[in-house]
A = this chain, B = another copy of it.
Amino acid sequence: MHTPSQTRLRVRYAETDQMGVVYYANFFVWCEIGRVEFFRQLGWDYKQMEIADDCHLPVVEAKCRYSAPARYDDEIIIETTVTAVRTYVIKFSYRVLRLAPDGNQLLAEAETVHFTVDRQMQKKPLPEKYQQAIRATML
């Protein structure tokens, strides 16, 4: 199995809610950060995919299972992998962990499914160079 892309962030005060933990929807913001870093670690820039290749990845399905809360100022690791890639579809899988000296703690597992579209939201095949490089991460 390949190594997932990793990225880190620190929980912002703005991301907490009055229960004293990170508001659940913010985990999907973190998944987006994981996706962008997945591409960057392949040598690409999602910004350039949008501008140069007119290739956008709207989310068509998103899910998350939460096993423990994230709290203000926690250091968070997002592990991102691609679990499927087809002409018009990419599927990402994420593990959200809390960095801890005595072993990282799993906070959530998530998945997102994306279509590949152009600026006008019309289906458009994912350019072959991306498909190939992504497949290489799945071996």
Which residue numbers of A lie inside 8 Å of B, CB to CB?
Answer: 12-14, 16-21, 23-26, 28-29, 32-33, 36, 45-47, 56, 58-67, 69, 72-73, 121
Contact = CB atoms under 8 A, between A and B. Distances in A.
Given A24-B62, A25-B25, A60-B65, 8 more contacts: A14-B23, A16-B17, A18-B20, A18-B21, A19-B56, A36-B73, A45-B73, A69-B121
A72 B18 contact: yes
Contacts of A19: 18, 56, 58
**Which of A14, A26, A46 has most chain B Cβ within 10 Å?**
A14
Q: How many copies does the complex hold?
A: 4
A124 to B, nearest CB: 14
A16 B46 CA distance: 14
B29 A14 contact: yes
11 contacts: A12-B29, A13-B17, A13-B18, A18-B20, A21-B121, A28-B28, A58-B66, A60-B65, A61-B63, A61-B66, A62-B63
Contacts of A29: 12, 14, 25
Contacts of A25: 14, 25-26, 28-29, 32, 62
A11 to B, nearest CB: 10
A17 B46 CA distance: 15
Given A46-B73, A47-B72, A64-B62, A28 B24 contact: yes
